[in-house]
Structure 1
Amino acid sequence: MTPAAGGPVKNSHHLEFINKIHEVIKIKKKFKHQTQFPL
């Protein structure tokens, strides 16, 4: 939820979205053997 320094709000939300995707990917890799993962 940290806004990009000097960046527009729109860009900040975009970065948050990318960060969430990266976290989901990390979780998927960590629990690759499981069929369910927390979103």
Structure 2
Amino acid sequence: KLEKAELPRSMKGMPIAMIVAGSMALAFFGFAGLKF
């Protein structure tokens, strides 16, 4: 299903990396928010 999704050729191998980076960023900002 993911292979059939319409995505730019440059983004073909990036989704997983973007998800990991996004989750790490959300976790970082979440913990930073808890401190203050």
CA offsets, 1:3-32, max 9 Å, x none?
Answer: xx5111x31110010000000001010001
Give the alignment's TM-score, normalised by structure 1.
0.59
Structure 1 unmatched ranges of 5 or more? 34-39
Give the alignment's TM-score, normalised by structure 2.
0.63
- Point out 4+ residue stretches in structure 1 off by more than 2 angstroms: none
Greater relative CO, 1 or 2 (CA 8 Å, sep 6+) = 1
- How many residues in Structure 1 have an aligned counterpart in Structure 2? 28
Pair member with larger Rg: 2
Identity of aligned residues (%): 4
The structure richer in helix per residue is 2
Q: Root-mean-square deviation (CA), in Å?
A: 1.5
